[in-house]
Amino acid sequence: MFENYDKKAPWIESYGEVSFHLDYPEYSMSEAVFNSAKESPDFPALAFMGRQISYTRLASNIELCAKSFKAMGINEGDRVTLCMPNIPQTVYCFYALNRIGAIATMIHPLSAVGEILYYLNETESKYVITLDGFYKKLKEVNESYKLKRLIIASIKDELGPLMRVGYNLTQGRTIPPVPYDDTVISWKSFIDGGKAYKGEYVVNKGANDVAVILFSGGTTGVTKGIELTNRNFNALALQTVAMCNKEVKHKKMLAAMPMFHGFGLGVCVHTMMVAGGQSVLVPRFNVKDYAGLIKKHRPNYIAGVPTLYEALVRTNYLDGVNLDCLMGVFSGGDSLSIELKKKVDKFLADHGATVKIREGYGTTECVTASCLTPYNIEKEGSIGFPYPDTYYMIVKPGTSEELPYGEDGEICLTGPSVMNGYLNKPEENANTLKLHEDGRVWLHTGDLGVMDAQGFIYFKQRIKRMIITSGYNVYPSQIENIIDAHEAVQLSCVIGVKDAIKIQKVKAFVVLKPGFEASGEIKQSILEHCKKNIAKYAMPYDIEFRSELPKTLVGKIAYTELEREEEEKNK
């Protein structure tokens, strides 16, 4: 269906063995997983805290959860909120809701009470599944927003006998008992309802039916629900497998990215389930445990945000560990600096890996990644080529006017993973999903980028994050790349601070490497380094040292928090 667009895709000839055009199924996400279960019934689909869960067991648990939801009165089109970490019950419930034609809304369990209330009101969800450790928070939510059912799961429900004893003696001891009633029910009661259910429950939804709602800041910074279809997720899975250019079936992915996020849900879990691979579920990231999982499972694929890799290259928990098991290492969710890429590539090579880190780019509006550096060629600073059947265009911001190769503009894309639209936001939909003269609907990402004549895409910055100082455009990520190259710098973040004369001035926040102490001499050394590499108008007026930088729930550097701090200081 994209034949007439191939002339706009100079990257096609550079794909090597990767096919640019794929066939996408017309069925649901859950049907895709059941197909994998038929092909590989005994292969472990999930690994969790020492336990292996086969595809046969996975399919059985999905069916049981589907009956349980149906027994509870949840019907086709109902929205059900999963406020859960990466544990097996999250996977069961996600596909079970899809099986009965309901819509899963995914939110982070560490979200604040006010955020959860917003999500529930937006989706009109009356059913929530969460962990016992988060009951107190959901109890407070329930006092303001009356739920029909709050289902309480526990990590121990999915542990083997020995691990369960250990859990009860450690982390489990800190969790207060949950007072169950008609509204608040245990996972066991929920499952018992499914075991007793005898009626019909399967609803065969099609490719274009909305299946999932994820939340994102969108292009205006306002949190919005993003409606994603079965086709969006299934296409993303098949595209990601194609772009790996390596075998994915019966291979392992370390799934540390949270399932409330498109990266974690779409790449680390659904892609592996569609391909017949295994997801090693990581409920909470810390570098020591993550390194332990790498040693134990020897995964073939790992994926994470840049801060995850920044932690890996600093740790000594992987000293002497051979990583020749790795077939793909992927970074997404935030911009990977040139300097961090060099550090990660060296780390991988030093540990026997034969692959380099590959940077992806995408937005939740297309599930997650829609662009990835190729397996066979790379250009410094590039985010690579679009996924199969996905087309990129650089336009003049605020218009649909396509710009020539080499000119900066807004990144737009079209393809099978582009969202159905924002929930309850018609004006935002009109600003983001635009019908161009070619008759196609293009997603306007709100990101600045450029495409070269070979089709390589370069991400510059969020349009809103661009700093305008004395009439010049300054891209924080470019300044961060330069600062990060200094021998003393581990990590940096650059923001714009209001200024009466310049409109904005540039400020840098820096975390130093171990062994370096914050001092006037170090600051001056970094500023001298900047002077050699940065135009005068883009020079930081100040460098503030921090022991760490604030991060979002998925591990991105929370530059907006730093902006708020500066705004409060300057009031």
- Domain end point (choices 431, 461, 491): 461
Q: Does 127 lie in the same domain as 269?
A: no
Looking at the structure of the chain, the number of domains it has is: 3
Q: Are both 283 and 418 inside the same structural domain?
A: yes
Same domain, 16 and 89: no
Q: Quick one: tokens of 253?
A: 């992915």
Q: What is the reported pLDDT for 553?
A: 72
Residue 92 has pLDDT above 90, yes or no: yes
Same domain for 9 and 141? no
Q: Across residues 554-570, what is the average pLDDT?
A: 85
Q: Considering only 40-44, 125-129, 243-247, 321-325, which range has the smallest mean pLDDT?
A: 243-247
What span, in angstroms and rounded, lies between the C-alpha atoms of 24 and 231? 7
Q: The domain spanning residue 518 has which CATH number?
A: 3.30.300.30
Say if residue 351 is in the same domain as residue 452. Answer: yes
Asked if the model's pLDDT at residue 220 lies above 80, the reply is no
Cβ atoms of 259 and 106 within 8 Å: the answer is yes
CATH number at residue 40: 3.40.50.980
CB 257 within 8 A of CB 333: yes
pLDDT bracket for residue 5 (50, 70, 90): low
Residue whose pair of structure tokens reads 């470019």 in the numeric block = 478
Q: Is there a single domain that holds both residue 16 and residue 128?
A: no
Q: Is the pLDDT of residue 16 over 70?
A: no
Q: Which amino acid is at 378?
A: E
Residues 505-561: pLDDT tens digits? 999 999 999 999 999 999 999 999 998 888 787 899 999 999 999 987 767 788 889
**DSSP H/E element including 426:** helix 426-432
Indicate the helix (H) or strand (E) that contains 428: helix 426-432
Instruction: List residues bridging with 512 in a β-sheet.
Output: 489
Average pLDDT over residues 219-240: 87
The pLDDT of residue 165: 76
What counts of helices (H) and strands (E) characterise the chain?
Answer: 17, 27
- Per-residue pLDDT, 298: 97
For residues 358 and 377, membership in a common domain is answered with: yes
Q: What is the mean pLDDT of the chain?
A: 91
Listed residues 461, 480, 500: the one ending a domain = 461
∠ CA 322-512-357, nearest 5°, is 35
Per-residue pLDDT reduced to its tens digit, 440-451: 999 999 888 999
| pLDDT greater than 50 at residue 200 | yes
Among the listed residues 481, 491, 466, 486, the one whose alpha carbon sits nearest the alpha carbon of residue 544: 491
pLDDT surpassing 90 at residue 97: yes
> What are the E-state strand segments in 467-502?
467-469, 472-474, 489-499
Alpha carbon distance 479, 310 (integer Å): 18
> What tokens does 99 get?
């099986």
DSSP designation for 183: S
Given this model, what pLDDT does residue 219 score? Answer: 40
pLDDT for residue 222: 63
User: Token pair for residue 333?
Assistant: 């969710």
Per-residue confidence band for 304, with pLDDT thresholds at 50, 70 and 90: very high
d(CA 466, CA 211): 34
Q: In the predicted model, is pLDDT for residue 167 greater than 90?
A: no
Output b/e per residue, 501-516; b: 16+ Cβ within 10 A.
Answer: ebebbbbbbbbbeeeb
Q: How far is CA 290 from CA 156, 280, 303, in A?
A: 20, 11, 12
| CATH at residue 301 | 3.40.50.12780
For 249-280, how does the pLDDT look when each residue is reduced to its tens digit (9 = 90+)? 999 999 999 999 899 999 999 999 999 999 99
- State the pLDDT at residue 1: 36
Kindly report the CA angle at 426 between 421 and 427, in degrees rounded to 5?
Answer: 115
In this prediction, residue 66 carries a pLDDT of 98
Domain boundary among 164, 186, 205: 205
d(CA 129, CA 148): 11
Type and span of the H or E element at 254:
strand 252-255
Q: What angle do CA 75, 237, 440 make, to 5 degrees?
A: 85
Instruction: Tell me if 339 sits within 8 A of 484, measured CB to CB.
Output: yes
Express each pLDDT in 365-389 by its tens digit: 999 999 999 888 889 989 999 999 9
pLDDT value of residue 7: 55
In this predicted structure, the answer to whether residue 105 has a pLDDT above a threshold of 80 is yes
- The side-by-side arrangement of strands in the sheet containing 44-48 is 51-54, 44-48, 278-281, 252-255, 301-304, 328-331, 357-362, 369-372, 385-386
Question: Does residue 503 carry a pLDDT above 90?
Answer: no
Parallel/antiparallel/unpaired status of strands 224-229 and 421-422: antiparallel
Q: Is the pLDDT higher at 235 or at 50?
A: 235
Task: Residue 206: name the closest of 243, 176, 232 by CA.
Answer: 232
Q: Which two tokens mark 380?
A: 């410094």
> How far is the CA of 21 from the CAs of 26, 340, 363, 417, in angstroms?
16, 33, 21, 14
Residues facing 434 on adjacent strands: 442
- Indicate if the pLDDT at residue 8 is higher than 80: no
CA dihedral (495, 497, 498, 499) in degrees, to 10, reads -120
pLDDT band at 218, cuts 50/70/90? very low
Contact (Cβ atoms closer than 8 angstroms) between residue 62 and residue 88: no
User: What percentage of the chain carries pLDDT values higher than 90?
Assistant: 71
Between 513 and 462, residue with greater pLDDT: 513
Instruction: Enter the DSSP assignment of 204.
Output: -
Residues 110 and 241 in one domain: no
The residue segments making up the domain with residue 352 are 3-24+214-461
Q: Say whether both 376 and 295 belong to one domain.
A: yes
Q: What is the pLDDT of residues 17-68, one digit of tens each?
A: 778 889 999 999 999 999 999 999 999 999 999 899 999 999 999 999 999 9
Instruction: Say if residue 292's pLDDT is above 50.
Output: yes
How does pLDDT run across 391-429, given as a tens digit for each residue?
999 999 889 999 999 999 999 999 999 999 999 999 999
Query: pLDDT band at residue 168, thresholds of 50, 70 and 90?
Result: confident
**Residue range 138-149, pLDDT digits in tens:** 999 999 999 999
- For residues 104 and 19, membership in a common domain is answered with no
pLDDT reading at 14 higher than 90: no
Whether 91 and 59 have beta carbons less than 8 Å apart is answered as no
Residue 363 has pLDDT above 50, yes or no: yes
Does one domain contain both 9 and 41? no
pLDDT score recorded for residue 481: 85
Residues 387 and 306 in one domain: yes
- At 173 the pLDDT is 80
Using alpha carbons only, give the angle 240, 243, 249 rounded to the nearest 5 degrees: 65
The kind and range of the H/E element at 291 are helix 287-297
